[in-house]
Chain A
């Protein structure tokens, strides 16, 4: 794979000099961000700090006002339709509310990206979908259910299975644990961690949840005041003297999350 050999060296995500302006409001002011192969990057920031907007720029749903976003060393904006599709097939996205196709049962939701390739036969697709379901720890009986019949945690799991359908190298997670109860949230985070390690995934996620952050993130980028004010491991970040970071990382909530993550790491 010629493109793979070249891209193997390049970071998975490169954001350079990104500006976003919506109307008169400046959201991002000269943002730079690099995600290396194999690491899990978390974007944190207050409400309205532009985390999700940045994520949408990265996966090519929207275009920044200025600046370059490169995925696997290629800029989506500069590619033709075929090239764009090839890049898009290399990452999978888990949306905040799952974004399952509500008209299709679980099975077809996961099979859809595989069918779109138009190279696999239906029998193999069936096997692969069943395997993905097993991967996200869902029973085969759920395959025939409609998304409306699923609980919040199951919707997330199906969404994860769908985002993994095309064997992506990069996983994009928008608030992976939003709307889940602490128990489900914990097991879902654990699942993502196991799968990420097993499949050798790179990941970028937006999250508010400290437990998720401490368990999953290798590095954290903090968005505030229209730029990235701090970038580093969770422990490095926690020491940065900025009012938002102090609020976010220090306090009872954070201590508890840190302790839990530490306890989890020992197992």
Chain B
């Protein structure tokens, strides 16, 4: 059976008849549809043509719409349509035609965009501040009602965010230690200052690298999971269900996560420091011939213990930042897939950048501590 085709025949009085034949259905249209539509439009513009659609064997709404459009979106005067296809045209004619209102170009768009961005930033800051306030209230409540402390949730989060993160943090820490030591050794050798590798690794890893590295890993690993977890619970109305049972979401979902990361991150930092130092030590031994015993003996004398405390404190702070940011984004997720992906991305990106910002502030504040050179 033929696909859509048309044929022009001369009629009486300078007029002509356009006969449409074959199957005018979506399934029969192919790559040649564009050309067909152009030809139809050309015929449609000519008022001396009478249309005859009775030769069409199969017509669906796509085919009818193509013809309708060629007619200028009204019923063509004198067009012959077979009775079986009449309802289809009636359907099309019944679609309310509303001209799209003319929208003036918006010159302020870039300004509005920046404004919206700022508003969003402010909104997020406000949300995070509110969440922190809620946390403080919750801690206050728990201090008065210790039986409500969500031990199980805290312990589960400690396990998920801490214990299960041990292998990956150890591996990354070790490799970073090796790389750092290798690169520094190359430079130090030129100056004959081999011995300073211990100072560089000690201060660099303990004070700076380990906490930031752990924070980035935690943000990617646990932060995203927390956002998705809370987000999906919101989508499936589980949080509302909890609320109706008198279980506040902040107490059972947010507080355990923040507490768990606050507990676990300093230890992860310690653990990463150790593996990074071991990596650096092995590399120094291999490259500079520095004995490991000597490395370990010298480390405490050149790196004041204050650096360890700073690293530890940073770990705690970063853990709280990551958890709060993750929970904030999780609670803002709306019930659709787009929002879930945007929320998770936003959570990780914001967590990492906030950690770096907090780190910078911390570096300025602790300038005089632990760096007696």
Q: Which residues of A contact B (CB under 8 A)?
A: 1-2, 4-5, 89-90, 101-103, 117, 119-121, 123-124, 127-128, 130-132, 134-135, 140, 146-148, 166-167, 198
Residue of A with least CB distance to B97: A130
Interface-centre pick from B65, B334, B335 (highest chain A CB count, 10 A): B65
Cross-chain contact B29 with A120 (CB below 8 angstroms): yes
Closest chain-A Cβ to B103's Cβ sits at a distance in Å of 13
Residue of B with least CB distance to A128: B65
Contacts of A1 in B (CB 8 A): 1, 23, 28
For the complex, would chain A's binding face be called helix, strand, loop or mixed by DSSP majority? helix
Q: Taking the complex as formed, is B69 at the interface, i.e. its CB lies under 8 A from any CB of chain A? A: yes
- 4 more A-B residue pairs beyond the given contacts A90-B27, A140-B96, A167-B62, with a C-beta to C-beta distance below 8 A: A1-B23, A119-B33, A147-B336, A167-B26
Interface string of B29-43 (1 = CB under 8 A from A): 111011001000000
Q: Taking the complex as formed, is B114 at the interface, i.e. its CB lies under 8 A from any CB of chain A? A: no
Known: A119-B31, A166-B26, A167-B27. A134 touches B61 (CB 8 A): no
A171 to B60, CA, bound (A): 16
Q: Taking the complex as formed, is B372 at the interface, i.e. its CB lies under 8 A from any CB of chain A? A: no
Cross-chain contact A148 with B335 (CB below 8 angstroms): yes
A2 to B28, CA, bound (A): 12
Q: Taking the complex as formed, is B91 at the interface, i.e. its CB lies under 8 A from any CB of chain A? A: yes
A131 to B33, CA, bound (A): 20
Q: Taking the complex as formed, is B313 at the interface, i.e. its CB lies under 8 A from any CB of chain A? A: no
Residue of B with least CB distance to A167: B60
Contacts of A101 in B (CB 8 A): 337
Neighbour of A131 across the interface among B61, B335, B336, CB < 8 A = B61
Neighbour of B337 across the interface among A2, A102, A134, CB < 8 A = A102
Contacts of A119 in B (CB 8 A): 29-31, 33-34
Q: List 8 A-B contacts (CB under 8 A).
A: A2-B1, A90-B27, A102-B335, A119-B33, A127-B69, A140-B98, A167-B27, A167-B61
Closest chain-B Cβ to A112's Cβ sits at a distance in Å of 14
A132 to B95, CA, bound (A): 9
Q: Taking the complex as formed, is B134 at the interface, i.e. its CB lies under 8 A from any CB of chain A? A: no
Contacts of B28 in A (CB 8 A): 1
Closest chain-B Cβ to A108's Cβ sits at a distance in Å of 12
Known: A117-B26, A128-B62, A167-B60. A103 touches B98 (CB 8 A): no
In the A-B complex, the 4 residue pairs with the closest CB atoms: A102-B336, A103-B338, A167-B60, A119-B33
